[in-house]
Amino acid sequence: MLRRHFLRVPVAGLLLQPWGTGSGSPSGITGLSLTSQGVGAIGDGVTDDTAALQAAINANPSNKVLSGEGKTYKITAPLLIPDGSTHLMLTDLNLAVSGDVASLKGPSSEGLVRFFRLERCLITCKEHVQVGRPAVDFQCFSMSTFRDVWILGTAGITDCFYGIVNKHGSAPYYDLFENIYAGGFRYAFNCNDSGSDATGVNSITIADSRAQPSTAAAVRISRYCENIRIRGLSVEGRPEATGIDCDGIGCEFDGCRFELLGTGIKFGAHSYANTSLGHYWSSCKNNVAYAEGAQDRNSSLGDSTATAGSLFNFGGRLRAVGGYRQTIGPWHASGISPRQAQFELTRADGRWIATRSGSVTGIIVKSSLPRAAGACVVRIYRNSGLAGAKGGLLGSLTASLDDTAPNQQVKLQSPGKDPFTAGDELFICATTDAGWAPDTASIQVMLEVET
């Protein structure tokens, strides 16, 4: 659920170090009010504050927190973040965009902005009508964060957040969008590619956000974009709209909610090695749609079988009776042979490490090809190989591919039955009998845990 507290947080006497203390962090971040003497912004929503805000940004491009103190600033031109800016934060301001202009953008297609943050901000864009003039253009932003941002548009044809790789190929990478609301736009998040040199937006995360697209899709991921992670996104729209329109590579969609849409998730003709799992669907004409051949190149676990109380009936990390529930994984293995005994499956992020105590409440196994003979059983293990730690089989919860479940099997149980503690490493092992076939099948496994 989107947190809406950001317009009420006091920021007087701001002195923050919000970027941590790593080697790439500055020694101190100083705060400055946008309405203080020497900046000159009015913040009454009527006076044009574009020049004053831009002057404040130009004079403080790095190692600064610029606070709007919750006031409304009218702008008639985009606020430009200078090339080379690093560790600049804009917070606690309302931007009333007047005219067909973007509200915020980087220096140019050749520039680079690093460690930028936009937090606790309301942006109202009522006059956007042209493609190419998004509310926020993040093509030059790398390792930046957009958090607690509410953006209101019209039913026009522009985008809310738009990104495309800059000419140096150095951005946008590793950006985080968290607790965003985007309503009234063609695309809420438009991740584009450069086309000619086969590069696109890479390794950004969209988490715990809400989008209401007017026409096209909440998220568009074009052909050469890679490793886009979307978790806990809630999308509600119109029958002609799509939740996630993906033509990218290696993307992961987890725990989202799709309501009143034409299509929840669409995999395009060039999409490859994308994973979709753990979603909730309501009143969508199509939950998942594939271009020709795309179904064999992507993994969609349980996306058409959401039922009350199942592994897939929640969005992101929802509050359960005993705590928070989430899906973790996927673990996978390709070309599984017969007579395999407790071989460990692979997970992109390695073994899952619990940050606090909890228990496993569900497991799903799915095969890329229907089981033809024999059986494959997957089990949950923990801490094998860790000195001084309790290791071995976690509990009794297993899932199998056999004559009763040739394609996939979901097993659920009550919280507390298979507990783990903070610091435990969980992983998956599979065992096949002598008759297992086909040996060309690939399997994927997901867990549901409550902490």
**pLDDT digit string, tens, across residues 49-86:** 999 999 999 999 999 899 888 899 999 888 999 999 99
User: What are 271's two structure tokens?
Assistant: 């999409």
Strand partners, 446: 364
Are the beta carbons of 73 and 34 closer than 8 angstroms? yes
pLDDT at 168 (0 to 100): 61
Task: Please give the single-letter amino acid code of residue 281.
Answer: W
Out of 107-116, 215-224, 430-439, which region has the weakest mean confidence (pLDDT)? 107-116
Dihedral over Cα of 51, 56, 62, 66: its sign: negative
**Residue whose structure tokens are 């008639």:** 76
Total length of the chain: 451
Q: Which class is domain 5-318?
A: mainly beta
- The two tokens of residue 268 are 């395009």
Q: What are phi and psi for residue 55, nearest 5 degrees?
A: -65, -40
- Cβ atoms of 33 and 65 closer than 8 Å: no
For 81-200, strand residue ranges (E) read: 88-97, 104-105, 113-114, 117-125, 136-137, 141-142, 145-152, 159-163, 176-183, 187-191
| Residues linked to residue 180 through DSSP beta bridges, in sequence order | 149
**Is the CB of residue 190 less than 8 Å from the CB of residue 163?**
yes
Distance CA 294, CA 119 (A): 37
Let me know the angle formed at the C-alpha of 74 by 70 and 78, rounded to the nearest 5 degrees.
110
Q: 284 pLDDT band (50/70/90 cuts)?
A: confident
Give residue 130's pLDDT.
Answer: 55
Per-residue pLDDT, averaged over 411-415, amounts to 81
> Distance between alpha carbon 158 and the CA centroid of its chain, in Å?
21
Q: Give the pLDDT score at 267.
A: 92
For residue 225, which of 199, 206, 244, 245 has the smallest C-alpha distance? 199
Cα gap 60→161, rounded to integer Å: 24
Q: What span, in angstroms and rounded, lies between the C-alpha atoms of 36 and 48?
A: 16
Dihedral sign for Cα atoms in the order 232, 233, 239, 241: negative
CA dihedral sign of residues 174, 82, 147, 89: positive
Helix, strand and coil percent figures for the chain, each rounded to 5:
5, 45, 50
Angstrom distances, CA of residue 182 to CA of 91, 188, 225, 429: 18, 6, 21, 41
Distance CA 366, CA 384 (A): 24
Fold of 322-450: Jelly Rolls (2.60.120)
Look at strands 210-212 and 176-183 and give their pairing: parallel
The pLDDT tens digits for 148-197 are 898 887 655 578 888 877 666 666 888 999 889 888 788 889 888 766 56
Query: Within 13 Å of residue 423, how many CA atoms lie on the same side as its CB?
Result: 6
The pLDDT value recorded for residue 380 is 92
What's the sign of the alpha-carbon dihedral 296, 298, 374, 431?
positive
pLDDT at 21 over 50: no
Residue, of 327 and 205, whose pLDDT is higher: 205
Give the β-pairing of 104-105 and 136-137. Answer: parallel
Structure confidence by residue, pLDDT tens digits, 234-280? 898 778 889 999 999 989 998 888 888 888 899 999 998 888 877 87
Least confident of 111-115, 277-281, 414-418: 277-281
Q: How far apart, in whole angstroms, are the C-alpha atoms of residue 8 and residue 442?
A: 51
Residue 38 structure tokens: 């020497």
Bridge partners (DSSP) listed for residue 299: 275
- Residue 171: the pLDDT is 66
Domain ranges in the chain are 5-318, 322-450
Instruction: Tell me how far apart the alpha carbons of residues 428 and 437 are, in angstroms, rounded to a whole number.
Output: 20
pLDDT digits (tens, 9 = 90+) for 199-220: 788 889 998 888 888 778 999 9
Residue 230's pLDDT is 93
Q: What is the C-alpha separation between 313 and 308, in angstroms, rounded?
A: 6
Tens of pLDDT, residue by residue over 23-43, are: 344 445 677 788 775 777 899
3-state DSSP assignment of residue 54? helix
pLDDT at 117 over 90: yes
Residue type (1 letter), 120: R
Rounded CA gap, 121 and 93, in Å? 5
Residue 432: predicted pLDDT: 92
CA atoms within 13 A on the CB side of 209: 30
Q: How confident is the model at residue 447 (pLDDT cuts 50, 70, 90)?
A: confident
> What is the average pLDDT score of the chain?
79
Element (H, E) at 127: none
pLDDT higher than threshold 80 for residue 304: no
